[in-house]
Amino acid sequence: MKVYQTNEIKNISLLGSKGAGKTTLAEAMLYECGVIKRRGTIDAKNTVSDYFPVEKEYGYSVFSTIFYAEFLNKKLNVIDCPGADDFVGNAITALNVTDTGVIVIDAQYGVEVGTQNIFRTTASLKKPVIFALNQLDGEKADYDNCIEQMKEIFGSRVVPIQYPLQCGPGFNAMIDVLLMKKYSWGPDGGVPTIEDIPAEEMEKAQEMHQTLVEAAAENDETLMEKFFDQGHLTEDEMREGIRKGLVDRSIYPVFCVSALKDMGVRRMMEFLGNVVPFVEEMPAPVDTAGNEVKPDSNGPLSIFMFKTTVEPHIGEVQYFKVMSGTLTAGVDLDNVTRGGKERMAQIFCVCGQIKTPVDKLCAGDIGATVKLKDVRTGNTLDEKGCEIAFDFIKYPAPKYQRAIRPVTESDAEKLAGILTRMHEEDPTWVVEQSKELKQVLLKGQGEFHLRTLKWRVENNDKLPIVFEEPKIPYRETITKAARADYRHKKQSGGAGQFGEVHLIIEPYSEDAPVPDTYRFGNQEYKMSVRDTQEIPLQWGGKLVVHNCIVGGSIDARFIPAIIKGLMDRMEQGPLTGSYARDVRVCIYDGKMHPVDSNEISFRLAARNAFSEAFRAANPKVLEPVYDVEVMVPSDVMGDVMSDLQGRRAIIMGMSSENGFEKISAKVPLKEMSSYSTALSSITGGRSSFTMQFSSYELTPGDVQDKLLKEYAEKNSED
């Protein structure tokens, strides 16, 4: 295989909503480039992209697939991404290592929420965008409506390159207003017939051509002057103007295709080969030190590992992008992220599951390798003496979680290893061992996301697992001051146990004055603070302990044991067993025995005194509340609002955004457990949402009473 230089390489992501036809388009692209001799289909389960067993089982893409095509003496590296929002991590990864996004839109349904979400990602990453209107041969295809909708949502930068002469099952011809030619196909698609534009279409074509010329000229002052002088541009000048417009996102070209019938695909490929920016024409990525790293084949060698898969008969496959320098097979590199050395014994160009060995890859190229010792997704490998490191991929926060455990408890360690591997393959699968909840939490982007993992664990790894409702990380606190004392006394022959602790607790706040005097009933308690310890809690808030003991009623050597007793109850609150927070304690008196007093005695006395005082201090249970934003079509907004209100949501605001309604709300985490599934059901999969932790808030009285009752019943059973 030819070694392609940096100025001959283009990296492209295939993006779009689920069902838009990306995998079918990828097959047509590979066929047109001669990489495959026959196009596969999703129904036949023989496409280049969807080759993992879980993808064949479900009939949709789960992982991104990398393939290359040699076309017009250039190398096009293409990453075909899953369309479902649940697998958005793959699209985010792909956009970070490619330079242009081809967003595929189903002409039957127009711009969907998933399309908008991925477009926002391209905007945040400043990536050029090309739209491919697919399935123009579908029964409900409506080109004019799609273009109108796209302009409404994405703005006037949407500029058609082509338009169909007819939509629906009769689609077989279109006008290309860049080349000013008519393209038509036979029933089997493939090679088009190229003709002059019919007279009846000339006026419309010239009008759209003029719009395209103006859009191209806007991106170059020289072209703009020539356009004003002559009123037209040559084909090469238009290409140059469009390329510059793509780089600065001032133009979004729209192409017409039927991927299934292979109509319009080759013409789009020609545009990708001739017009789309090369790697070196895009802004250079920035390393962790804030320095730009240009894709220079003669520069220091640095590669970024952006994807990991585990494939049958091969094992772990690591995919990388050559960020700088030229990579040759057999070279030794340093892992600057984890430490250690790695030998790149073999490097491959990839087309789905087909790996073609190559000797060399230049800066900007994408490849794969196998049998590395200790490399993880996101690591940077450099040649000796080079200290470049990258960490530019940012994934969205999880939106759905379940507790996970093996059916057989003895398989817990095996499951932990599998989940670690799964996270490497898809970093948006997040695993957390929760000490607080005593559960292993699996977090992801939605129910389908986690269900896919479950299928793989049970079918590929043959390990039965169970999903359970995750517990909620409640917090406990108090709202007023209270006093208690407790004597721990135990005698069982020999040395006994004795410790007595008197304490006062109250709510803690940062601006609270040092305690002076408390009154309970008719009795007044004066405090003389001798020592203060502030303990920041891992789960938020503080425990502040004032040692107010005078006269030596408790020896100073027992104070650490008393604080341990207090922390025991902060870690397992008296109400529900949840973490407690924001409590101030004054230890003001107590008793000890010259023989029987020891650390365990005072620890137990403090624990019980604290529990008694806590229950008397008007305690409250706090629940985690999240900021939730929901994007919904206007026709289902009422249903979505009703559902949110049924989840104890507080609606914070509503606004319109690009043809969709955005609802902002604060919702308790308890009520978000199955929200992704419910939202999909209510809106037919046309909505999406994000959620982010906001704060802990008081639970309503009826909810708190229920929690206390459940905890009491559980303890009585135990």
- Specify if 394 maps to a domain: no
Share of the chain above pLDDT 70, in %: 98
Same domain, 522 and 588: yes
Tell me which of 592, 618, 644 is where a domain ends: 618
- Write down the pLDDT at residue 550: 87
Same domain, 90 and 226: yes
With contact defined as beta carbons under 8 Å apart, do 161 and 254 qualify? Answer: yes
* Mean pLDDT, residues 606-625: 96
Residue 409: which pLDDT band, with cuts at 50, 70 and 90?
A: very high
Three-state DSSP state, 482: strand
Share of the chain above pLDDT 90, in %: 74
* Mean pLDDT, residues 461-486: 95
Same domain, 613 and 631: no
Residue 718 predicted with pLDDT over 70? no
What CATH code is carried by the domain that includes residue 60? 3.40.50.300
- Specify if 297 maps to a domain: no
- CA–CA separation, 54 and 501 (whole Å): 61
* Mean pLDDT, residues 409-432: 94
Residue 604's nearest CA partner among 499, 533, 505 is 499
DSSP-assigned beta bridge partners for residue 542: 536
Tell me which of 422, 455, 471 is where a domain ends: 471
- Specify if 215 maps to a domain: yes
Residue 407 predicted with pLDDT over 60? yes
**What are the C-alpha distances in Å from 663 to residues 84, 149, 552, 645, 687?**
21, 21, 61, 12, 11
Same domain, 94 and 169: yes
- Write down the pLDDT at residue 439: 93
- Write down the pLDDT at residue 231: 67
What CATH code is carried by the domain that includes residue 417? 3.30.70.870
- Domains contained in the chain, number: 5
- Write down the pLDDT at residue 571: 94
Residue 717 predicted with pLDDT over 70? no
Same domain, 43 and 98: yes
- Write down the pLDDT at residue 696: 94
pLDDT of 518-569, one tens digit each?
999 899 999 999 999 999 999 999 999 999 998 889 999 999 999 999 999 9
- Specify if 717 maps to a domain: no
Same domain, 157 and 205: yes
Residue 619 predicted with pLDDT over 60? yes
Kindly tell me the sign of the dihedral angle through the C-alpha atoms of 141, 143, 145, 149: positive
Residue 81: which pLDDT band, with cuts at 50, 70 and 90?
A: very high
- CA–CA separation, 32 and 285 (whole Å): 32
pLDDT of 220-251, one tens digit each?
777 777 767 676 777 788 888 899 999 999 99
**What is the H or E stretch that residue 315 is in?**
strand 315-324
- Specify if 395 maps to a domain: no
pLDDT of 243-274, one tens digit each?
999 999 999 999 999 999 999 999 999 999 99
pLDDT of 100-141, one tens digit each?
999 999 999 999 888 988 998 999 999 999 999 999 999 999
- Write down the pLDDT at residue 227: 67
Same domain, 526 and 561: yes
Residue 479: which pLDDT band, with cuts at 50, 70 and 90?
A: very high
b/e per residue 658-683 (b: at least 16 CB within 10 A): ebbbbbebbbbbbbbbebbebbbebb
What CATH code is carried by the domain that includes residue 340? 2.40.30.10
Residue 351 predicted with pLDDT over 80? yes
C-beta pairs of 432-438 under 8 Å, 24+ apart in sequence: 434/473, 436/473, 436/539, 436/578, 436/579, 437/403, 437/470, 437/471, 437/473, 438/471
With contact defined as beta carbons under 8 Å apart, do 24 and 46 qualify? Answer: no
Same domain, 428 and 368: no
**Structural domain that includes position 351:** 302-382
Residue 653: which pLDDT band, with cuts at 50, 70 and 90?
A: very high
- CA–CA separation, 607 and 619 (whole Å): 16
**Average pLDDT of the residues of the chain:** 91
What CATH code is carried by the domain that includes residue 653? 3.30.70.240
Neighbours of 179 (CB within 10 A): 18
Q: Any residues with CB less than 8 A from the CB of 685 and at least 6 apart, and which?
A: 18
- Write down the pLDDT at residue 603: 96
Same domain, 62 and 199: yes
- Specify if 287 maps to a domain: no
Q: Any residues with CB less than 8 A from the CB of 679 and at least 6 apart, and which?
A: 630, 640, 643, 687, 689
Same domain, 431 and 542: no
Tell me which of 584, 618, 652 is where a domain ends: 618
The lowest-confidence range among 8-12, 298-302, 670-674 is: 670-674
Same domain, 485 and 536: yes
Same domain, 30 and 162: yes
- Write down the pLDDT at residue 493: 66
Read off the tokens for 144.
């004019």
- Predicted TM-score (pTM) of the model is 0.84
- Specify if 387 maps to a domain: no
What CATH code is carried by the domain that includes residue 512? 3.30.230.10
pLDDT of 145-182, one tens digit each?
999 999 999 999 999 999 999 999 999 999 999 999 99
The lowest-confidence range among 60-64, 188-192, 323-327, 420-424 is: 60-64
Residue 612 predicted with pLDDT over 80? yes
By 3-state DSSP, what share of the chain in percent is helix, strand and coil, each rounded to 5? 30, 30, 35
- Specify if 373 maps to a domain: yes
